[in-house]
Structure formats: structure tokens, C-alpha cells
Structure 1
Amino acid sequence: MNAPWPVVLRDGDTALRPIRLRDQRAWREVNRRNRDWLRPWEATIPPPPPGALQPARPTYRQMVRHLRREAHAGRMLPFVVEHRGALVGQLTVAGITWGSMCSAHIGYWVDEAVAGRGVIPTAVALAVDHCFRGVGLHRIEVCIRPENGPSRRVVEKLGFREEGLRPRYLHIDGGWRDHMVFALTVEEVPEGLLHRYRRSRPATPRN
């Protein structure tokens, strides 16, 4: 069993590791190159009540410090995604809840340059297996806008179960957006999600 946090998870060319302050330059560069690719799916801050000030977006350093506090409090697992040693995205396990629920949700984004290569499905599978085996959670969900075809293909490849629609669930790209809910429980992947994903992929032809 892996230690819950901090932890590095790896499969082949794909790895998850804790986000760091010194990742700022690489993180900003990936975000800059992918502005148009990421903007339609990014969380935004809703307008404040009349007379209230609009809160400022956190800086990178503020974001990382907040994520690290939440991680050490046991409420979040904030990873960056690496492919062949380069930072290509971010994956966060958030909303960790114990008691009678033992649940969390996963959000992610990835560099368009590596989209479609199995990087994010592998990263999600690594995170889910760690949540079930290392952390001890029972249920993981992913909430995705219906229009987000690439992200929906990730959960479809991994065999997440579709549970329904949450109307106006999150403030994304400047408005309250509907999200589809996909989930897995530990009983559905007794052999591990990464193992099941590997078995579902077509064999790579040998030269």
C-alpha cells in the first residue's frame, strides 16, 4: 500500500507527483500554449453580489500553497502530470470526504500536444487506484461538461459509470454550466483500474 501523501505514482512514460512552487515556469508555459484549448473548460469566479468586490484570481504561488495546505490536511491530492519527464498537465483529487461516504472527485487538464496518447487515462487510473488502495476511499467521481468530448472519452475508456446530469453545477468559462457525473466504486475494479485499462487497450504491434 502506498503512503497517502506525498506520493509519486508512475506507469511507463506517465507519472503523477506533488505540485511544487518551482514548477511555476513550466506550468505557466504549458498554460500559455494551451489558452484556447483550456479556456472553455476552466473554472471561473462568479460575479459578486451588488456592491461587493470581485475577488482576484490567486497567483501561482498562492494556488500551490493552498493546495499544499489542503493536502496536508487530508482534503486533497494535488498532482502535476508528467510525460517522459516533462510537465504536461495537472490532476487534483479534491473534496475528500470520510465518515459514511469515503468519497472524492477528480479534475484534470492536459497539454493538447499529448492529448489522445493515453496520458490522462493512465494518470486518472493511477490516481483512482491510489485513492482506493492507498488512501482507503470507496467512491471516485468525475464531473464533465456534456460538450467536452475529449474529457468524456477519458472516462469512457476507463469504464466510469454515467450517473446523470447536474444542472448549472459549476461556474466554468464565465457561466453556470451543466455537468455529467461519472463514478466508480472500489467494488467495480477489484483488480485495479490501471490493470483493467491496460487489458482494454489494443496490443501494440511489434516490428
Structure 2
Amino acid sequence: MDAASGVRHGPVEIRLVRPRDARVLQQELLTNRSWLQPWEATVPYGSVSFDMRVSIRRLLQQHREGAGYPFVMEYDGQVAGQLNVWGVSRGSLCSATIGYWVSERFAGRNITPTSVALATDACFVEYGLHRMEICIRPENAASLRVVQKLGFRYEGLRRRYIHIDGDWRDHYAFALTKEDVPQGVLARWLNGQVPARAADIPPADRLTI
């Protein structure tokens, strides 16, 4: 996959973010404040800039350095959100983490699971990564449905793991390795071959929330 030109399945496409995306992305973030704020990363003892031009420059610099793959998610040619592959580790790990947001008006159209599947397949096949992780707040039912649909394996509870919406928040960790999906994440999902209970959270972890 050429990150700049993108890859698509049906009406859903992911492509490398561009500087000219700044205006529409910033508008979507501002319009969706109440929808997105509970899940947005924040900075302890500091503030997060909402200047999308600055954010895109930083993301593209990380991409040039091989530290991330910042994508825009589109639906029928319209910008629907962002998906970032970040924290790329090479060497003995060959791993990364996926984060994303989608506008409320595009929710419920399978944009996020399709985009996560496309990005994970690209990371395994094109970018030489071996393990992909998604960390989700226990309260985020919509994101939990994404890993359930795609069969990301539950790997544990991380206490006070990421600073979200003004405080350190617990997260569930889910992951896939390349060996888990020899046919690809998207193909496994579309073919109905996702393990039924891979993303199930054990009662012991549910009770601690």
C-alpha cells in the first residue's frame, strides 16, 4: 500500500493525511466536541493545541522519520475522521499502536472497523510490522465493538495508562500479531472467520473497573 495514494474497501478509504486537510479536520473536531472529548488524549500539567495545521506537520514529520503512519478516514470521498498508527518500534519489537476518531455523523457505518482492518493489513504486509495494539477505555462501548468485530485478542487491563479528558484513565489492551491473521484482518472479518470470543474481557478485569 502506498500511504499517500491510499487503499479502499467499498466506500471506505484510508490515505496519508495532507496539509490541506487541516481546515476540514479542524472543523470536524470542533463540531464534534461533545462526541469526542471524553476519549481525547490530554497532557498532564499542560494543554493540547487544537491547531490542526501544527498537528499535521508533526504527524507528517513522524511519518518521514518512520515513527508513525497518520491516515485520514474517508467515506464516499468525505473526510470522516483520523486513524493514526503511532509508537512504531522496529528492531526486536516491530510493533505499533492504533488510535482513531470518527465524526458522529458517520458513526454506525463500519468506517472505523474497516479502516482499522485496512491499516493493520498494511502494517503487516507493507510496513514490516509484527504486532498491532489498540488500547480502549472500558467506558468506550463503540471502540470495544471495533475490536470485537475484528477479533483483536484481549491482553489485559492497564491501570491509569493514558491521560484522557483531563485525568489518567484505565484502558483495556487488545492486540493482533501477523501470525494471527494469515489471510488478513479484513478478509477474516468479511469471511466470517473472526474468533467469537477473542476480545472477551474476563470477569476479574471487569470487576476492577
- TM-score under structure 2 length normalisation: 0.88
Q: Give the 3-state SS of the residue equivalent to 1:107 in structure 2.
A: strand
Q: Give the 3-state SS of the residue equivalent to 1:129 in structure 2.
A: helix
Mapped partners of 1:173, 1:55: distance in 2:
11
Change in CA separation of 1:168 and 1:56 when aligned onto 2, cut-off 3 Å: closer
Mapped partners of 1:148, 1:128: distance in 2:
21
Q: Tell whether 2:174 aligns with 1:176.
A: no
Look up the match of 1:185: 177
C-alpha displacement at 1:134, in angstroms? 0.2
Which sections of structure 2, spanning at least 5 residues, go unmatched? 194-209
Q: Give the 3-state SS of the residue equivalent to 1:135 in structure 2.
A: coil
The residue correspondences of 1:71-90 to structure 2 (distance < 5 A) are 71-90=63-82
Range 83-92 or range 59-68, more displaced: 59-68
Look up the match of 2:150: 158
Instruction: Decide which of 29, 33, 36 is 2:34's aligned counterpart.
Output: 36
Which structure has the bigger radius of gyration? 1
Mapped partners of 1:7, 1:42: distance in 2:
28
Look up the match of 1:147: 139
Map Cα deviations across residues 37-95 of structure 1 (whole Å, 9 max, x no partner).
10000001111xxxxxx456262111111101100111100001000000010000001
The residue correspondences of 1:15-94 to structure 2 (distance < 5 A) are 15-47=13-45, 54=46, 57=49, 59-94=51-86
Look up the match of 1:115: 107
C-alpha displacement at 1:112, in angstroms? 1.3
Q: Tell whether 2:159 aligns with 1:167.
A: yes
- TM-score under structure 1 length normalisation: 0.89
Q: Which amino acid counterpart does residue 27 of structure 1 have in structure 2?
A: L
Mapped partners of 2:76, 2:105: distance in 1:
13
Mapped partners of 1:100, 1:18: distance in 2:
26
CA contact (8 A) 2:42 2:48 kept: no
Mapped partners of 1:164, 1:86: distance in 2:
36
Q: Which has the higher contact order (CA 8 A, sep 6+)?
A: 1
Percent identity (aligned): 51
Mapped partners of 1:56, 1:131: distance in 2:
28
Mapped partners of 2:63, 2:6: distance in 1:
14
Supply the RMSD in Å over aligned alpha carbons.
1.4
Q: Which amino acid counterpart does residue 179 of structure 2 have in structure 1?
A: E
Look up the match of 1:124: 116
Q: Tell whether 2:1 aligns with 1:9.
A: no
Which sections of structure 1, spanning at least 5 residues, go unmatched? 48-53, 202-207
Change in CA separation of 1:44 and 1:55 when aligned onto 2, cut-off 3 Å: closer
Mapped partners of 2:48, 2:63: distance in 1:
23
How many residues align? The count is: 193
